[in-house]
Amino acid sequence: MPKEPDFIHDLNEAQQRAVRHTEGPLLIVAGAGSGKTRVLTYRIAYLIQQQKAAPNDILALTFTNKAAKEMKERIQQLIGDEARRLWMGTFHSVFSKILRFEAEKIGFTSNYSIYDTDDSKNAIKQLLRENNYDPKEIRPRTIQRLISDAKNELIHPDHYQEKFVHSTLDDITANIYGQYVERLKHNNAMDFDDLLVKPIELFQQHEGVLEKYQDRFKYILIDEYQDTNHAQYKVTNMLARKYKNLCVVGDDAQSIYSFRGADIRNILDFKSDYEEAVEIPLEQNYRSTKAILKAADSIIKRNDSQLNKTLWTDNDMGDAITVLDNYDERDEANRVANYIQELKARKGYGYNDFAVLYRTNYQSRVYEETFRRKGVPYQLVGGLSFYQRKEIKDVLAYLTLLINPDDDTNLIRIINEPSRGIGNKSLHDLMAQARAGNQSLWRVLENVGEIDLYKPAEKSVREFVSMINDLKKDLKNGRKLINITKKLLEQSGYMKSLVEENSPKSMTRRENILELQNAISYFEKNNNNPSLSSFLQEISLITDTDKYDEEKPAVTMMTVHAAKGLEFPVVFVVGLEEELFPVGSRDNEEVNIEEERRLFYVAITRAEEVLFFSHCRSRYKYGEEQRKRRSRFLDEVSPDVVRTETGASIKQNSNNLNGDQKESSDSGSTKIEYDWKKPLYKKKNRSSNTTRIYYDNPDEDPFQVGARVEHNVFGPGKIISRSGQGEKTKVVIYFKERGRKTLMLRVAKLQVIG
């Protein structure tokens, strides 16, 4: 065995143990900021340096493509160029690559399309229509969510019937689920969940294929293990079964993706799943000040933490956390911008040292406006990603059609885009024909002469087919992708219609298309074997977080989810209000308050030196002003590390969370104090003789989210959300028999029941 590399002495004792423990299952419980990326990087370099494995024997699954790329670069610095041959990436990208090799074995071609959430929602909407359900009553999003959950739990459509049918919704889902799976297969398409589920099917049906990959991946590492779902657990469990060299890194306190099926039990049960597993905790935090760490600890200890670890740091105490108390979101954004300018001027921070973290993407808008107005450079991460934009999806749909003609969903997307006279009626006729003959829409288009179709539309179809066939020929002849793209933009009339529109919107779209062309050229130059299908599959999996550039001199704005794994000297956690952070409940689902708390914990632990919390007393939502109560999390945080802007300690109240705030004049300054006794709303006279209206006094108002109510026409139901105030208060109610209704509280005849 070669001598141990010098680089191992860069690590602390626990980190070294984690690196040296190469054989058998290993659980590294890595607290926030404890250097886990470093451990993973060094561990991989160590495996190679000690000749335990060649680079392509190692599979490392990360949470973002960006993390994979960075780790690869760091490993390259430790051991040299051969690091490029590591298998490293997100679950989705690694398994999509494997599926490209093995697709034929499970009835797909290697040119399979990848559907994003919108694509699968559209496919489901289409199926609902075909099954005579009204997509307005049965929302595609709901069905999509249920199907996705089932897939991640590895529940087959046939078993969904057995398992879940006890309500109308489950019944419909069971019905649609089977058809959806079939439809995707017909389209030669996989959704995001399939990229995890199909490999399992593949391995179950082909023992030899499983063994091939078991032998290939002799060492497996998984980052952010607390956020893996059942399918991810299963597929890696299968792969690691032979050599059992599975090293997982995670932190149960940072599990924030349960909506994606992440199952915290995967990490909690690791030691019982893998009996000989060794657990190594990393407890020294290198990132944050003591004050920040104390705030984080005071939050997380309110949850039932299940893996033992105690974070500590040698860093300084640091400044107290400042709580900003704002009138509304404009005020909030202004104040944040001012602090950024001030800290930059006084303490010498650069713009890229700052991050604004929020719970929901729509909060970014006010910051964009404010920062632009004040000349604060920013980069926005997340929201509507580049590849979800209409014009980008359109162009990609054209390209997809060239290699996957059976993909009806993408074909329908562009068959009349730009409009070429193949309208709803004609499309409907064509689709009917396709379904009758059990063939893809493209086959019908190719043989359009054989069916009865509106003549002008038929002519358009012929032109469309010959245009696509011509492009296909170019592709076959090895013409460059970028040139094919340019040609299709011209021949389809797509560019022309954007030019003619000549609006600000169409200008942006043209710019975006140019950016896509750059991406295609770049891909073509930087890949040895650039195929259209690998391009399309790769970019389907690129996320906005992958594009975040920490060197760019700009303030970063992103959701807390997107900030996972990142760190910033100065962090603003904004919008700390009830019904926002923690988020408000939606549909019939209860908010997982412990997960919201973990999310807040993640937000806090992104900060290295300076941390701000911020909340607004009122905020616009759906164009309406709403009064907001500050987040309960502000009452949970250790009071000795938080201060108001004037340096006073904030008053907290652990049992009454809906206190108001008032200006206090006792110090002569504009010091802000909180008066928890004063109700949030002024009392007004009550009115109405049918339903008692309580909207003026929230303490007595029984019509709160979650309340069970009865309506004299719609019957029993549950309040799922509430908006507006006073007379304009509206509630959304889910009625057992009638579905969702939005009602004015003032006029609805409602009674609280049960």
Partner DNA sequence: AGAGGGGGCCCCGAT
Partner DNA sequence: GGCCCCCTCT
Q: Which CB, 34 or 62, lies closer to DNA?
A: 62
Separation between Cα atoms, residue 508 and residue 492, nearest integer Å: 19
Q: Active site includes 84? A: no
From the candidates 173, 228, 254, 289, give the one annotated as an active-site residue. 254
Q: In the set 159, 425, 435, 678, which binds DNA (CB under 7 A)?
A: 425
Cα gap 176→141, rounded to integer Å: 13
Shortest separation between residue 372's beta carbon and DNA, angstroms: 14
Answer yes or no whether residue 382 interacts with DNA by CB under 7 A: yes
Q: Is 236 near DNA (CB under 7 A)?
A: no
Answer yes or no whether residue 423 interacts with DNA by CB under 7 A. yes
192 part of the interface to DNA, by CB under 7 A: yes
- Annotation says 606 is catalytic: yes
Range in contact with DNA (rule: CB under 7 A) among 41-49, 319-327, 482-490, 555-563: 555-563
* DSSP tag of 417: S
Is the distance from CB of 529 to CB of 106 less than 8 angstroms? no
Q: Residue 295 burial (CB < 10 Å; 0-12/13-18/19+)?
A: buried
The helix (H) or strand (E) run that includes residue 442 is: helix 441-446
Out of 652, 740, 746, 752, point to the residue binding DNA (CB under 7 A): 740
Confirm whether 223 is a catalytic residue: yes
Contacts of 470 (CB under 8 A, 6+ apart): 491
As measured in angstroms, the least distance from the Cβ of 562 to DNA is 4
Query: Exactly one of 347, 479, 586, 662 binds DNA (CB under 7 A); which one?
Result: 586
Closest distance to DNA from the beta carbon of 197 (Å): 11
- Pairwise CA distance, residues 9 & 461, whole Å: 68
- Strands of the sheet containing 715-723, edge to edge, are 739-744, 730-735, 715-723, 708-711, 750-752
Q: Which of 188, 220, 198, 190 is nearest to 43 (CA)?
A: 220
CA atoms within 13 A on the CB side of 248: 27
Q: What tokens does 511 get?
A: 């710019």
Q: Looking at beta carbons only, is 131 or 667 nearer to DNA?
A: 131
Kindly tell me which of 91 and 378 has the beta carbon lying closer to DNA. Answer: 91
For residue 118, give both structure tokens: 């919108």
Q: Is 361 in the site for DNA (CB under 7 A)?
A: yes
- Collapse the DSSP code of 673 into the 3-class scheme (helix H, G, I; strand E, B; otherwise coil) and give the result: strand
By beta-carbon proximity to DNA, the closer residue of 524 and 578 is 578
DSSP code of residue 359: S
561 binds DNA (CB under 7 A): yes
Stretch that binds DNA, among 26-34, 431-439, 553-561, 686-694 (CB under 7 A): 553-561
Q: Candidates 278-286, 401-409, 554-562, 660-668 — which segment interacts with DNA by CB under 7 A?
A: 554-562
Q: Which helix (H) or strand (E) holds 332?
A: helix 329-347
Instruction: Report the site for DNA in 335-354 (rule: CB under 7 A).
Output: none
Distance, in Å, from the CA atom of 629 to the CA atom of 627, rounded to the nearest integer, reads 7
The one segment of 392-400, 483-491, 542-550, 691-699 that binds DNA by CB under 7 A: 542-550
547 is catalytic: no
1 CB-near residues (< 8 Å, 6+ apart): 50, 51
Residue 93 in contact with DNA, rule: CB under 7 A = yes
Q: In the set 541, 557, 719, 733, which binds DNA (CB under 7 A)?
A: 541
Radius of gyration of the chain measured on its C-alpha atoms? 28
Strands 113-115, 58-62: pairing kind: unpaired
* Cα dihedral 735/737/742/743 (nearest 10): -80
Of 298-306, 461-469, 581-589, 673-681: span binding DNA (CB under 7 A): 581-589
Q: Residue 419, class by beta-carbon neighbours within 10 Å (0-12 exposed, 13-18 middle, 19+ buried)?
A: exposed
Q: How far is the CB of 74 from DNA (least distance, A)?
A: 21
Residues that contact DNA, how many (by CB under 7 A): 55
Please count the CA atoms within 13 angstroms of the CA of 461 that sit on its side-chain side.
26
- What tokens does 573 get? 């956690």
Binding site for ATP: what residues are annotated? 30-37
Minimum separation from the CB atom of position 130 to DNA (A): 14
Q: How many CB atoms lie within 10 A of CB 511?
A: 11
Pick from 147, 562, 571, 707 the residue near DNA by CB under 7 A. 562
Residue 282: closest CA among 94, 569, 33, 640:
33
Q: Which is nearer to DNA, 118 or 490 (CB)?
A: 118
Are residues 683 and 699 in contact, defined by beta-carbon separation less than 8 angstroms? no
Least distance from DNA to the Cβ atom of residue 241, Å: 24
Q: Where are the beta strands (DSSP E) in 10-160?
A: 26-30, 58-62, 87-90, 113-115
Residue number with CB closer to DNA (122 or 161):
122
Catalytic (active site) residue 23: no
Which residue has tokens 């451990």? 39
Do residues 217 and 57 lie in contact, with contact meaning Cβ atoms separated by under 8 Å?
yes
Rounded distance between C-alpha atoms, residue 523 and residue 480, angstroms: 11
Identify whether the C-beta of residue 506 lies closer than 8 Å to the C-beta of residue 513. no
**Of the candidate residues 503, 742, 744, 753, the single one contacting DNA (CB under 7 A):** 742
Catalytic residue among 119, 191, 194, 223: 223
**Least distance CB 322 / DNA (angstroms):** 25
Q: How far is the CB of 246 from DNA (least distance, A)?
A: 20
Interface with DNA by CB under 7 A: which range of 420-428, 438-446, 568-576, 657-665?
420-428
Q: Which of 606, 628, 630, 718 is catalytic?
A: 606
Cα(563)–Cα(545) distance, integer angstroms: 8
> Does residue 191 have an active-site annotation?
no
**559 lies in the binding site for DNA (CB under 7 A):** yes
The number of CA neighbours under 13 Å toward the Cβ of 370 is 20
Site string for DNA, 434-463 (x = CB under 7 A): --------------------x-xx------
The region of 87-95, 305-313, 397-405, 648-656 touching DNA under the rule CB under 7 A is 87-95
Contact residue for DNA among 51, 132, 308, 424 (CB under 7 A): 424
- DSSP state, 591? P
| Least distance between DNA and beta carbon 239 (Å) | 18
Is residue 617 at the binding interface for DNA, with CB under 7 A as the rule?
A: no
The residue count of the chain comes to 754
Is residue 496 a contact point for DNA (CB under 7 A)? no
416 is a contact residue toward DNA (CB under 7 A)? yes
Per CB under 7 A, 583 contacts DNA: yes
Binding-site ranges for DNA (CB under 7 A): 64, 90-93, 116-117, 125, 136, 139, 141, 192-193, 258-260, 359-362, 382, 385, 416, 419-426, 454, 456-457, 541, 543-545, 558-559, 561-562, 583-584, 586, 589, 591-592, 595, 621-623, 732, 740, 742
Residues annotated as catalytic (active site), given as ranges: 36-37, 223-224, 254, 606
